[in-house]
Amino acid sequence: MNRLLNKTLLYYSFFATIILLLSAPFIYWTMESLYKDDVDEAILLRRDEFEINNRKTLHISDIPVWNKFNRDIRILPDTVIQSPKDSIIQQIFYDELVPEWEPYRVLYKDVSIEGKPFVLMIRLNLVESEDLIRTIVRIYLGILFALLLVIFFITLFVSNRLWKPFYATLRQIEQFNIELNKLPQFPDTKIKEFNQLNNRLTTLIQQSVQSYITQKKFTQNASHELQTPLAVLQSKLDLLLQDNSLQKGQLQILHSLYESVSRLTRINKNLLLLAKIENNQFAEFSSFTVNDIVSEVIPYFTEQADSKKLTIETTFKNIISLKANKILTELLINNLFLNAIRHNIEKGKITLTLDTGRFIIANTGIDQALDAETIFEGFKKNSTDTRSSGLGLSIVKEICDLNNWTISYTFKDSTHIFTVRF
């Protein structure tokens, strides 16, 4: 993508070049016309000089000598020339000195020498005009190049100065992080439009930050307040389930309620976890390897994997060392592993791969791709498993964003693949 400054410079240079090139024929025609006028003026001057200084003293017997020593002013018989008289025209003559055909401006005038009619021919070569025009063209091209160079540097300098506040504002927006609750400080500028832009951005960011803080506080407060009644409700249901006097239908209802309360408790815990991650409450970093975490995690999920008769394969191609929060990294791998188990099929397969800077987990499942754009959003479930809170992959995405890692989803050969790049 091109910068706005480069686009502006490109347009200026393009249109300046077009205008200058279009003006070249006009300048050529103007210079040629001026040169022809000068040549015609010189021819008329020589005509007048001949009338004043030579015609009255010239004899017919002197004409051969005159023509021999005057290359461009000749006296010809009256019957030789049929061209228009007393007007300057352009003709081509063969020049034996060059030798080649060359253009001339020519004047034919009737003159009388010793009472007999003759024709005075005065001509001037236009070859010099062609040389002059070629020189002018070279000068013009040099001016064109110099002008484009000047336009380039002036536009670059002026545009950089004019757009400096805009790029400063852009840098502030790029560095802005709503989770840090620190408003960007836009630079002062004397340009009205940039001031309006900065004012509107400031207002918009303030409103967004306020809404974000309000929403985050509500989530935290709601989750904290729900903990106690959920715990009480779960304990009461535990007591009811231990009552031997309950009938089968009543037990089924209680089990359904218990599962709903358990899922609600997990959702509440995950919402609290998300709030803690967003509040950067896991700031403690330590050095560890992802290989060790994966090796520690696998035994905890063996029972769940065996219930679906899943096959687990691990491939450690490289050792991945990290310096990050170990708890969050364990949580990330746990959630991906649990997701691979819950959304798998009976007698399916899970493959764990540690490659250079990558953790890849692939699992069989439904034979169609999931929506890669929404899969990491909260409460986007692609399974009917009631044990899923719908926040597992959202937490994974939040952990990756916090550590500047990237996670991606692909579907290939009936296999769902999640890749974390550290």
Beta-sheet strands, E only, within 253-309: 286-289
Residue 106: how many CB atoms within 10 A of its CB?
A: 20
Asked whether the predicted pLDDT for residue 161 surpasses 50, the reply is: yes
User: How much is the average pLDDT of 50-73?
Assistant: 89
Mean pLDDT for the stretch of residues 402-409: 90
| 328-349 pLDDT, tens digit each | 898 899 889 989 998 899 999 9
Percent of the chain with pLDDT over 70: 86
Q: Which of 38-52, 149-163, 396-410 has the lowest mean pLDDT?
A: 149-163
> What are the residue ranges of CATH 3.30.565.10 in the chain?
286-421
CATH code: domain 4-145 is 3.30.450
d(CA 204, CA 200): 6
- Taking residues 311-338, report their average pLDDT: 90
* Residue 291: per-residue pLDDT: 92
Is the pLDDT assigned to residue 416 strictly greater than 90? Answer: yes
Q: Which CATH architecture has domain 286-421?
A: 2-Layer Sandwich (3.30)
Identify the pLDDT of residue 386.
46
The confidence score (pLDDT) of residue 26 equals 80
What's the CATH fold of domain 192-278? Helix Hairpins (1.10.287)
Question: What's the burial of 320, exposed, middle or buried (CB within 10 Å: 0-12/13-18/19+)?
Answer: buried
Q: Do the beta carbons of residue 244 and residue 196 sit within 8 Å?
A: no
What digits encode the pLDDT tens for the residues 198-235?
888 888 888 888 887 777 777 667 666 777 777 777 78
Q: What is the pLDDT of residue 81?
A: 65
**Residue 237: predicted pLDDT:** 79
Choose among 177, 172, 167, 181: nearest CA to 201.
Answer: 172
Categorize the per-residue pLDDT at 21 as very low, low, confident or very high, splitting at 50, 70 and 90: confident
Between the alpha carbon of residue 112 and those of residues 45, 58, 365, 373, the distances in Å are: 19, 10, 116, 102
Looking at per-residue pLDDT, the higher value among 131 and 78 belongs to: 78
| Contacts for 176 with CB less than 8 Å, ≥ 6 apart | 182, 184, 205
